[in-house]
Amino acid sequence: MSRLRLSSICLAVPVLAASVSCGGAASGGAPVELHGAGATFPAPLYDRWFKDYVREHPNVRVDYQSVGSGAGITQFTNKTVDFGASDAAMTDEEIAKVDRGVQLIPMTAGSIVLTYNLPDLTAPLRLSRQAYSGIFLGKITKWNDPAIAASNPTAKLPDLPISVVRRADSSGTTFVFTQHLSAISDEWKNGPGTSKAPNWPTGVGAKGNEGVTSSISQTPGAIGYVEYGYAKGTKQPMATLENKSGAYVEATTASAQSALVGGQLPENLRLFLPDPDGKDAYPIVTYTWLLTYKKYDNEKTAAAVKDVVRYCLIDGQKVSEEMGYVPLPQNVVAANLKALDNIK
């Protein structure tokens, strides 16, 4: 198969010598086609998972459009897709609009990082909670501001305007980031607040994690928030952030796992970690959810959805870390596998 753009992950059926069944979708007859849409945050990992799955299951096709969490929830609610995806788990009010019922399934976890474009800065940038909340509030506008310089005493910070890049679309990544800002800044909490599409005090918009990453890389003095995998894949520098305990922590698999340790997954599988505890915890970490219906009209579609999700929860987790994501804790995998029984 040819390499496909992240903005439209459309997986064709490869030719395999052996036929593999998929939860009732036998190798004979018409292929089972699954259509999904939603979050750009996990799109690189979903791309890998769905391609790997399709190679092993010649009678299933998976098409995933990475259109952003807000658009994904809308399409899922309107029943124009077989599954959705969102970094902001659907609320009770949103779920109530779906008469087929909704099963939330946290598929992976990852960090949201602040990546920047300062070509002459040799050491990794360190940002205090005061500094990065001030930047996105539009209060800190120069890179050599004292609030930034205080955490970078040996760095030669430029007298350069800060260009904030943020999401232009309704975004689960934005929801998670603004939820964190609301947890660490009363001014943010009482101003823009937590939202998939807030009224931003500053910045220019770009579509998707890939759009923000691209815009930052092309704009000297820019800073923005993206999923760790995008920054890692494009070799963008990532700021070391101050966490709740006052420690400055780099975004790594280990620091993200430390953030997840303190969270207890509730029965509805909806868990947010706006400001995790622990001196080794990276401060902005989130689960991201697949949205499935509890009731499907077609038996083969339901069986295929369950089988794809099961594959991602078991075999798929083995490649999560190399793709820049956090493998799910075993208790979360177990809860997800049990939740698949709710899909009929």
Pairing of strands 204-206, 163-167: parallel
Number of DSSP helices (H) and strands (E) in the chain, helices first: 12, 12
The pLDDT tens digits of the residues spanning 244-298 come to: 999 999 999 999 999 998 778 999 999 999 999 999 999 999 999 999 999 999 9
Q: Do residues 225 and 114 touch, judged by C-beta distance below 8 A?
A: yes
In the chain the domains, ranked by start, together with CATH numbers, are 9-110+286-342 (3.40.190.10), 111-263+270-284 (3.40.190.10)
Q: Do residues 231 and 173 touch, judged by C-beta distance below 8 A?
A: no
Amino acid 264: pLDDT: 85
pTM of the shown model? 0.86
pLDDT of residue 24 exceeding 70, the answer is no
Residues 6+ apart with CB under 8 A from 75: 37, 38, 67, 81, 84
H or E element, residue 115: strand 102-116
Which strand ranges, in their side-by-side order, compose the sheet holding 163-167? 9-11, 60-66, 32-38, 83-86, 285-293, 102-116, 222-227, 163-167, 204-206
Say how far apart CA 26 and CA 60 lie, in whole Å. Answer: 9
pLDDT of residue 8 exceeding 90, the answer is no
Amino acid 64: pLDDT: 98
Phi, psi of 10 (to 5 degrees): -125, 115
